[in-house]
Structure 1
Amino acid sequence: MRKLILYIATSLDGYIARADGRVDWLESVPNPDQLDYGYADFLATIDTTLMGNATYQTILGFGGDFPYPDKTNYVFSRQRGQADTAFIRYVEEDPATFTAHLKNQPGKDIWLVGGGQLNTVLLNAGLIDQFIITLAPVSLGAGIPLFGPDAVETPFKLIKSESFETGFVQVVYEKVPPPTPS
């Protein structure tokens, strides 16, 4: 079975973006050696992305070419009848049902790009297998949280942590398997 991995950056206070969706604060931390924090290696392990429509619109707002043209990209939207593009397919069905089905298909792992609402739905459905969270050395005070207020308590175990000279810290957590019946 394919793993669903939430690979994302957050501020120290748990926000993935400003309230208006901007992530300019990620570029505010000096990175003179142009570290990619394992991003290229991670991209090689996935062949599919999942994102909410607001996250997709933020990505389009960066300008330039679409960043994942060699992946199968799904965008969840509540708006009906949106036309697919050369690089993305819109999904109107329930995100948890769609993702559970997708995880059972052959392929590489799946990147949950975000945002907070989709993260919450898939966390609550027990579908996120791994978190790779890069903490930025900045506090925003407000914005879009990593998870919404309906997120259920879910245990994970720490697999790895790494700190960088830039002040970023990356942590990897995996889902704790359910206890086996005795």
Structure 2
Amino acid sequence: MRKLILYIATSLDGYIARPDGRVDWLEAIPNPDLLDYGYDDLLAGIDTTLMGNSTYQVVLGMEGEFPYADKINYVFSRSARPDAPYVQFVAEDPVAFVRSLKQTDGQGIWLIGGGQINTILLNAGLIDELIVSVAPIVLGAGIPLFGDGAAETPLTLVSSRAFDTGFIQMIYQPA
């Protein structure tokens, strides 16, 4: 069975984006050594990404070409849409879709976010690993890592690491 990995950064107060979806605050944190926080290793171990439509719109707004063109990319949308370059839109139930996807052959699956899809898949018990990097910033408002209705979910800490940039990265698995 394929592993579903939530790899994501949050502010110290638990937000993955500003209220308007922007993640500019991540680039504002000095990173003089250009640390990748395990990003390259993650990309080497996955062949599929999952994201909500709002997250997809943020990715499209980033400079350069679509960053995951070499992966299979699914975007959850509440309405059927024609596929776009590098992306297949999914209007069906995310839980049923991911359960089926995890049974197929392939590498790991990266759950990019956002908060709504994170919550749905957490509540369904489909997330196998959470790699959460906490940034040294308080945003005060924004899109939370998990939305309202997130189920209480005990986790086991696999490892943690502090970086000179002030980020703390924790890897969890469901208990």
TM-score by length of 1: 0.95
Task: Quote the offset at 1:79 in angstroms.
Answer: 2.1
In 2, Cα distance between equivalents of 1:5 and 1:47? 12
In 2, Cα distance between equivalents of 1:31 and 1:79? 39
Task: Quote the offset at 1:40 in angstroms.
Answer: 0.4
Q: Which residue of 1 aligns with 2:68?
A: 68
In 2, Cα distance between equivalents of 1:61 and 1:30? 22
Which stretches of structure 1, 4 residues or longer, exceed 2 Å deviation after superposition?
A: none
In 1, Cα distance between equivalents of 2:2 and 2:59? 25
In 2, Cα distance between equivalents of 1:155 and 1:103? 22
Deviation per residue, 1:128-173 (Å, 9 max, x gap): 0100001000000000000011000011100000010000010000
Where in structure 2 are the equivalents of 1:14-163 lying within 5 Å? 14-80=14-80, 82-163=81-162
Q: Which residue of 1 aligns with 2:5?
A: 5
In 2, Cα distance between equivalents of 1:76 and 1:42? 21
Give the percent of matched residue pairs that are identical in Structure 1 and Structure 2: 65
In 2, Cα distance between equivalents of 1:24 and 1:86? 25
Task: Quote the offset at 1:86 in angstroms.
Answer: 2.3
In 2, Cα distance between equivalents of 1:69 and 1:84? 14
What residue identity is the alignment partner of 1:21? G
CA RMSD between the two structures: 0.6
Larger Rg: 1
Count of residue correspondences: 175
Which ranges of structure 1 fall in alignment gaps of 5 or more residues?
177-182
Task: Quote the offset at 1:175 in angstroms.
Answer: 1.2
Q: Which residue of 1 aligns with 2:169?
A: 170
In 2, Cα distance between equivalents of 1:39 and 1:138? 20
TM-score by length of 2: 0.99
